[in-house]
Amino acid sequence: MKSNSTQNVILNPETLPPHVAIIMDGNGRWAKKKMMNRIKGHKQGSQIVRSIVTACRELGIDTLTLYAFSTENWARPELEVKALMMLLKKFIVSEREELSKHNIRLNIIGQKYKLPLDVQKEVEATMELTKDNNKMLLNLALSYGSREEITTAVKQIAEKIESKDLDSNDVTQDLISDHLYTKAMPDPDLIIRTGGEYRLSNFLLWQAAYSEIYICDTLWPDFTKNEFIKILKNYQERDRRFGKVACSTSNDG
């Protein structure tokens, strides 16, 4: 059996999670520990994004979703928000050819219209360039909030019912999923949060219904490919039952 290994950690390529989502937390705390401003932490964090995207591509993970900027992040200091948008624009431009070269498609989930116009322009250019790529999907969650996403979906469905394009009996879980930013995508199999906080922070709340969750204390700028692979190994050792239990004997009930 073909295997991928790092420091004696052997992964089974047949049971890798098709969709990994990451809450990249800890940039600010990393910078504070090093007596730097928060922007330095975000800059270092952007370097880690490159390494993890590369790792996913090399391992054969189909979809990677990164929580890059939440709807709540707009309330941060104006200077920090501007710096984050600048780093985002730089990343989108600098990685454009690499994404194309390695057959990776870029997609944005969230309120793209709220991004600065120059950022929107570069995002659209990269999405257009990579739209036919099919080796891997990279989702960046930008101005994303799960409650906003679900609320928007409910409004869209309500409007269709009001206009008689839908009947209330047509509303199913699949229909709701088809009105989310992640329509036509599989739900995340594994959600990783760095930085040690035990919460989802308004991230993929509908889609995470049966996701495996892994919390690590490592701050995002210190996150490595080796740690990522160990987390994938932990995922492969879990028993995913999706609420079901296989009875082994008549006494199991």
**Residue pLDDT, tens place only, 11-67:** 999 999 999 999 999 999 999 999 999 999 999 999 999 999 999 999 999 999 999
> If DSSP codes are grouped into helix, strand and coil, which group holds residue 209?
coil
Choice among 4, 37, 62, 73 that is catalytic: 73
4 as an active site residue: the answer is no
Joined tokens for residue 214: 């892994």
What pLDDT does residue 3 have? 45
Q: HSE (CB half, 13 Å, CA atoms) of 198?
A: 0
- Predicted structure pTM score: 0.91
Position 135 scores a pLDDT of: 96
Check if 167 is active-site.
Answer: no
Cα dihedral angle (53, 50, 134, 232), rounded to 10 degrees?
0
Instruction: Please report, as a single letter, which amino acid is at residue 233.
Output: K
How far, in Å, CA of 25 to CA of 83, rounded?
17
Checking if the pLDDT of 252 tops 90, the result is no
Token pair of 87, please?
Answer: 């780093």
Q: Which two tokens stand for residue 246?
A: 């296989």
Report CA-CA distances (Å) from 119 to 14, 110, 129, 213, 239. 38, 14, 15, 31, 42
Point out which residues pair with 63 in neighbouring strands: 19, 137
Whole-number average pLDDT of the chain: 93
Average pLDDT value for residue range 111-125 = 97
